[in-house]
A and B are shown apart, each in its own frame.
Chain A
Amino acid sequence: MSHQLKIPWVIKYRPRKVEDVINQEEAKSKVLEWLKKWPNVTKKALLFYGPPGCGKTSLVEAISNEFGYELLEMNASDFRRKEDIERVAVRASTMQSLFASGKKKLILLDEVDGVANKEDVGGLEAIEHLVKVTKVPIIMTANNPWDQKLRILRDIAEFVQFRKLEKRDLMKLLHRICNAENLHCDEDALDYIVSRAEGDARAAINDLQAVGEGFGEVTLERAKAILRPRDKERDPFETLKLLFSSRYAWQARNALSQSQLDYEQLKLWLEENIPHQYTDMEDVLRAYEALSKSDIYLGRIVKSGDWDLLVYAMDLMTVGVALAAINNPRDKDKWTKYTFPQRISIMSKLKEVRSVREDLATILAKHLHTSASTAKSDVLPILKAMFVSNPEYAAKLAIGLGLSEKMIEILAGTNKQAILDYYRKVEELLEKKASEALAGTKKLKQEMKKEKPETEKGKEKKNTKDLFSFTKKSG
């Protein structure tokens, strides 16, 4: 029984017979009559149009099922290119003549407005050609037949309108499924689901499954918790709730597709909240392993530029994490207070600290002729040790290296004040020295004229000047 449940209900409960298709009586009789006459019809193709989820594709499938047509189905995503369409056309017409005794055939071109929207040059022309040469009936579907790009179809296909489903039609449909699934369904919950579906049977069934499957009941409370008005994306908290409570892979994947979070953000939210939702350590590890592997794929995408890998990253992140609660599956529905990823808040709080540290590493790297990363990992810790243990020495180093106050703070922590006090004292001393040195310059120059410039005094003077410029830079 459980494996049957895994089929999406929209597939499990799609109409098998024409009479199962809700409403659309006008369309039904039109189509059946047209099929009976085919090929003696004015137009060899039909175009079903109407809002999503009103039964266009379902009716075609029901007809093929009930009247024994073999359905050659192509979706907008399939016939991007002219050749694809021609291949089907050729196959359909030649097969028909070769096996005249075989099954009747019916071509379904689903969502043709999708073709027009894509920049597939020749796609519509190919359809036109197909209709002209076809030896089997063709039915197309579209949401908006009045699209300018589709006007070519008006000449070759007969348009059949499908109406938006009424609320009571949908209620009837959901009741039927509730009975078949042995689900206890509260009336107000179904009403809620139906109102937000806005005539779309597919959406209503999907929502019913999301709310009811695995719980054995459909209550208004849960419906409201899980479902949101369709035009509104789930906020991060709802996304996590839906993801963690998912019992099936498709539920978990949906969690990301209708979320305000993108996969990078979701990664951080999961990193933060996995141990809040799951309590069993093995489950926690399983979830983190999935997240970790997902993250490896993300790394590979950056490295290789191969975005095809993204689906695997997203699968692991959603399905992998959602289905990790094996030891303690009850955790999945546990009420959890999700927290905003601390990493993001810490990062933004410490943005300045980090940039100061980077600057510090750059100074050290330049000074020591190493890379900034070596400076960070090898030199910074040692420098820190000196700064915490000997403020006076630290101040001298700060002057020698030309460190700013903020850098001193990073290195010294609470010891900062002692260092700064000493630093200022030295600065004053240096300023005094600098003016002395300035006064002494004339005298020095005279001496240098007498002797060769290679004197200790000359070096000393240069030193003092350098120190002065260091303090100025850092101040």
Chain B
Amino acid sequence: MSITTSELLWAEKYRPKSLKEMVNQEDIVKRLMKFVEERNMPHVLFAGPPGTGKTTAALALAHDMYGEDWRRYVLELNASDERGIAVIRNKVKEFARSKLPGDIPFKIVILDEADNMTADAQQALRRIMEMFVETTRFILIANYASKIIDPIQSRCAAFRFTQLRKEDVVARLKWICEQEKVICYPDGLEAIYEISGGDLRKAINILQASASLGEVTVSNVYKVVGLAHPKEVREILNLAFASKFIEARDRLRDLMVTYGLSGIDILKQMHREIFSADLKIPEDMRIVIADNIGEIQFRLVEGADDEIQLTALLARLSLLGKKLQSKS
């Protein structure tokens, strides 16, 4: 079986299955291994930047706790995807109801992106955690511990995941390349690290896409990033600055529909573009525009409509563009 007929995403393929395989967050891993040894654990909170191993640690802990059959005793939920706390409560209730075999002390609920829950929902979550504490333990995962309400924090053992070191990320990428028998160059791997900002999952995704172009070279890495981050956003900005408002608006709509990007995604990309050297605008304009983008993002967080708000932003940029033109 020399030719592979199928591929998976490497981010998953090379995710450590067991705590023993984890090469980072040594202190945390050691503590988690103790839980496995004692066959007991409190509720825990994993907090830290994306791509630092929080979900991996949670899954690996469950794996080591229950063995190959672990999925039967683990409920994975993502707070961003579940519609409301009532849904979460029902799922947890349903999950907690079924009997445990004698040798299994408790089940585990992994709740990812818990910091996306409102304070009210977290209060309800706290009650759920208490209600089922006899039979279930919660692993809460969040980017920011500060966004988790105090009553929950005080009921959890908190683990702070730290940003991965550059050499660790690069070493991991290199190791994957060896497994996959892909030729990689050090500067290519470093470029991936820079682009991913230390987020290992993102880095592995870029690695895989670069490898799919042949070798992991700097130019392939940038080619991938160029393909992945549509030029549309820059083109929309350029149209707006050229005061071609209606065209810019129509392109924006295209982008939202064809790429399925949310308003916030687009705002974040715009923000990146505004500070890129390729965009030729007076330096002081960059911060004016950043302020405007921030205001629009705030409105979206308030519950406003993506398209209306982004169109209003484009109108503002078009006016700015017009003023710039008349000045020069």
Query: Which residues of A line the B interface, CB within 8 A?
Result: 267, 271, 275, 281-282, 284-285, 288-289, 291-292, 295-296, 298-300, 302-303, 342-343, 346-347, 350, 353-354, 357, 361, 364-365, 367-374, 376-386, 388-390, 393-394, 396-397, 399-401, 426, 429-430, 433, 460, 467, 470
Partner of A369, one of B79, B112, B307, B318: B112
Pairs A–B under 8 Å by Cβ, sample size 25: A267-B308, A288-B308, A289-B315, A291-B308, A295-B308, A299-B304, A299-B305, A302-B303, A342-B253, A346-B257, A361-B260, A364-B9, A368-B9, A369-B112, A370-B55, A370-B112, A374-B80, A376-B262, A384-B227, A385-B209, A386-B209, A400-B7, A400-B8, A426-B5, A467-B6
Q: Nearest 10 CB-CB pairs, A to B?
A: A299-B303, A385-B227, A381-B228, A371-B80, A400-B6, A396-B7, A292-B312, A288-B312, A399-B6, A299-B304
Report B1-28 CB contacts with A as 1/0, cut-off 8 Å. 1001111110110000000000000000
Partner of B212, one of A285, A371, A393: A393
Interface residues of B (CB under 8 A from A): 1, 4-9, 11-12, 55, 59, 76, 78-81, 112-113, 201-202, 205-206, 208-209, 212-213, 223-224, 227-230, 243, 245-246, 249-250, 253, 257-262, 265, 299, 302-305, 307-309, 311-312, 315-316, 318-319, 322
Is B201 touching A368 in the complex (CB atoms < 8 A)?
A: yes
Bound CA span A396–B211, Å: 14
- Contact A369–B9 (Cβ < 8 Å): no
Is A285 within 8 A of B316, CB to CB? yes
Q: Are A281 and B307 in contact (CB under 8 A)?
A: no
The distance from the CB of B218 to the nearest CB of chain A, in whole angstroms, is 16
Q: Which residues of B contact A380 (CB under 8 A)?
A: 259-260
With A275-B249, A346-B257 known to touch, is A378 a contact of B205 (CB < 8 Å)?
A: yes
Q: What is the bound-complex CA distance between A371 and B76, given in angstroms?
A: 11
In the complex, what distance in Å separates the CA atom of A373 from the CA atom of B265? 10
B residues within 8 A CB of A394?
A: 212
CB distance from A376 to the nearest CB of B (A): 6
Q: How far is the CA of A379 from the CA of B209 in the complex (A)?
A: 11
A369 touches B55 (CB 8 A): yes
**How far does the Cβ of B223 sit from chain A's closest Cβ, in whole Å?**
8
Interface of A is mostly: helix
Give, as a whole number of angstroms, the nearest-CB distance from B267 to chain A.
12
Residue of B nearest to A396 (CB): B7
With CB as the reference atom, state the residue of chain B lying closest to A366.
B76
Q: How far is the CB of B235 from chain A (nearest CB, A)?
A: 16
Q: How far is the CA of A324 from the CA of B314 in the complex (A)?
A: 17
Q: Which residues of B contact A302 (CB under 8 A)?
A: 303
Q: Are B304 and A295 in contact (CB under 8 A)?
A: yes
With contact pairs A365-B78, A368-B201, A371-B81 given, residues A390 and B312 touching in the complex (Cβ less than 8 Å)? no
A369 to B55, CA, bound (A): 7
Best-surrounded residue of B8, B201, B228, B316 (most CB of chain A within 10 A): B228
* Residue contact A284 to B315, C-beta cutoff 8 Å: yes
Known contacts: A370-B55, A389-B212. The answer to whether A357 contacts B307 by CB under 8 A is no
Distance in Å: Cβ of B225 to nearest Cβ of chain A: 8
- Bound form: Cα–Cα A382–B7 in Å: 15
Given contacts A285-B319, A373-B81, 19 further A-B pairs with CB under 8 A are A281-B315, A288-B315, A288-B316, A289-B312, A292-B304, A292-B308, A296-B302, A296-B303, A298-B305, A299-B302, A300-B302, A365-B78, A370-B55, A381-B259, A386-B208, A388-B227, A396-B4, A397-B8, A429-B5
